[in-house]
């Protein structure tokens, strides 16, 4: 096991800078998720750590050793690809033991290691099947088995669950988490799915346009996004981003165009402000109350456990999530009381 240190890592393809000066320290045994919209450079960054892309500038250390010019095979890493990349002409056991065979281990050791990995992953019945004879979830597991038999210092995952159907994805997500708890190997995991990031990560790194937007534990990022982009990227339903006006007289209030105002957690600079409030950070009232915002209900979506309301306030849409059972209908008026401590003011726009 090893720590991973990225120091000013950059990558350019010709004139295009894909990764811009990224520094990050990943501790031994940590599960770090790189997340961002497509084209943000998260896969490229992972491939640079894997040694599949060259590093234009900066320094990469794994386990305290410089790795910039070390070939993939000597970096002590394993990687699970989005497409699994199983060798089509080899059965499950051969796929898993290929790296051991190349390392020159004898047949008995190989078989033992494969058997142990197969047991961990529940692959024993499929050891002599070819990849084409396996289901998607089984292939996924073989790819993971191939990664764990080598006992790597670092696991790299490149969107490993995105080819699975929704149900299987949830199951494999839990298995992945369990596997990490068991093996405690440093893991770097790339995804564009915020639920995977939230549920799996010790720390999340949010990337945009090849730069780090914010690093933190899942709940830190959820509760205290530094930017509107981060706030809107994590969480479902998405954070409401309201375009409001802060007047010079009272910098602790942000006003809608109809005059109603939201109290801000911290005073803001006067002018236009992007105010972010998560859908669950409102209290619903059926009558006016101090600090409440009157809004018109547009859509009601009950899911059983909770109800999602889409309301309109001064021409802006607001999503509200509540666990109460409601009997409001579209066209009704409701009064929203935002939770002052969880109102965020941003100075960027969330063009994700």
Partner 1 sequence: MTHPTDIHASSALPRRRTRLAVSERQLAVARHLVLMGFALVVLFPFFWIVSAAFKTQIDLLVGKVFFTPHLDGFLDVMFDKTSDFARNFANSMVIGLISTFLVLIVSTLAAFSLYRLQWPAWVLHSILGWSVIFHLVPPITLAGAWFSMFRSVGLDNSYAGIILAHTTLHLPMALWMMGVFVRDVPKELVEAAQIDGAKVPDILWHVVLPIVRPGLAATGILTFIFSWNEFPVALVLSQRQTATVPLGIGKYAQENTIAFTEMAAASTLSIIPAFLLLLFAQRFIVRGLTSGAVK
| Residues at the site binding partner 1, with contacts judged by CB under 8 A | 50-52, 71-73, 77-79, 81, 83-89, 98-99, 102-103, 130-134, 139, 146, 150, 163
Strands 31-35, 203-208: pairing is: parallel
Residue 22 CA to residue 241 CA, distance in Å, equals: 28
Query: Considering the complex, what minimum distance in angstroms separates the CB of residue 85 from partner 1?
Result: 4
Helix axes 92-102, 136-148, angle to 10 degrees: 20
In the complex with partner 1, the residue whose CB is nearer, 88 or 315, is: 88
Query: Considering the complex, what minimum distance in angstroms separates the CB of residue 75 from partner 1?
Result: 8
Contacts of 188 (CB under 8 A, 6+ apart): 4, 26, 32, 34, 46, 49, 154, 155, 156, 157
In the complex with partner 1, the residue whose CB is nearer, 72 or 306, is: 72
In the complex with partner 1, the residue whose CB is nearer, 81 or 335, is: 81
Helix axes 136-148, 107-121, angle to 10 degrees: 130
In the complex with partner 1, the residue whose CB is nearer, 150 or 278, is: 150
Query: Considering the complex, what minimum distance in angstroms separates the CB of residue 191 from partner 1?
Result: 17
In the complex with partner 1, the residue whose CB is nearer, 128 or 348, is: 128
In the complex with partner 1, the residue whose CB is nearer, 88 or 331, is: 88
Q: Single out the residue of 91, 69, 67, 92 nearest to residue 77, CA to CA.
A: 67
Determine contact, residues 325/340, Cβ cutoff 8 Å: no
Query: Considering the complex, what minimum distance in angstroms separates the CB of residue 324 from partner 1?
Result: 44
Query: Considering the complex, what minimum distance in angstroms separates the CB of residue 4 from partner 1?
Result: 15
Angle formed at CA 52 by CA 48 and CA 54, multiple of 5 degrees: 55
Residue 237 CA to residue 223 CA, distance in Å, equals: 14
In the complex with partner 1, the residue whose CB is nearer, 78 or 307, is: 78
Residue 143 CA to residue 198 CA, distance in Å, equals: 23
In the complex with partner 1, the residue whose CB is nearer, 140 or 232, is: 140
Query: Considering the complex, what minimum distance in angstroms separates the CB of residue 79 from partner 1?
Result: 5
Query: Considering the complex, what minimum distance in angstroms separates the CB of residue 119 from partner 1?
Result: 21
Residue 244 CA to residue 274 CA, distance in Å, equals: 6
Helices (H), 184-332: 194-200, 218-223, 228-233
Query: Considering the complex, what minimum distance in angstroms separates the CB of residue 19 from partner 1?
Result: 18
**Exposure string for 131-168, b = 16+ CB within 10 A, e = fewer:** beebeebbbbbbbbbbbbbbebbbbbbbbbbebbeeee
């Amino acid at each position: 096991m090893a720590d991973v240190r990225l120091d000013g890592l950059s990558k350019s393809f010709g004139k295009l800078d894909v990764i811009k000066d990224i520094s990050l320290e990943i501790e031994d045994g940590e599960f770090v998720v790189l997340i961002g919209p497509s084209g943000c450079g998260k896969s490229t960054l992972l491939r640079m750590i894997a040694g599949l892309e060259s590093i234009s500038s900066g320094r990469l250390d794994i386990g305290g050793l410089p790795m910039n010019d070390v070939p993939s095979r000597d970096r002590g890493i394993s990687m699970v690809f989005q497409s699994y990349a199983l060798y089509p002409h080899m059965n499950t056991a051969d796929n898993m033991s290929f790296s051991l065979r190349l390392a020159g281990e004898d047949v008995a050791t190989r078989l033992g290691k494969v058997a142990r990995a197969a047991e961990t992953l529940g692959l024993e019945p499929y050891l002599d099947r070819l990849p084409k004879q396996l289901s998607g979830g089984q292939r996924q597991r073989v790819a993971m088995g191939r990664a764990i038999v080598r006992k790597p210092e670092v696991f790299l995952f490149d969107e490993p669950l995105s080819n699975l159907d929704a149900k299987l994805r949830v199951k494999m997500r839990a298995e992945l988490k369990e596997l990490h708890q068991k093996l405690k190997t440093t893991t770097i995991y790339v995804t564009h799915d915020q639920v995977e990031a939230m549920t799996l990560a010790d720390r999340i790194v949010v990337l945009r346009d090849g730069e780090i937007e914010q690093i933190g534990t899942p709940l830190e990022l959820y509760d205290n996004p530094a930017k509107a982009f981060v706030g809107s990227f994590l969480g479902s339903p998405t954070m409401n981003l309201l375009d409001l006006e802060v007047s010079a007289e009272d910098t602790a209030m942000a006003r809608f165009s109809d005059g109603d105002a939201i109290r801000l957690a911290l005073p803001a600079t006067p002018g236009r402000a992007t105010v972010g409030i998560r859908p669950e950070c409102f209290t619903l009232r059926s009558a006016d109350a101090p600090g409440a915002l009157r809004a018109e209900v547009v859509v009601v979506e009950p899911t059983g456990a909770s109800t999602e309301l889409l309301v309109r306030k001064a021409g802006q849409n607001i999503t509200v999530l509540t666990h109460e059972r409601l009997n409001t209908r579209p066209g009704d008026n409701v009064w929203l009381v935002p939770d002052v401590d969880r109102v965020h003011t941003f100075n960027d726009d969330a063009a994700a």
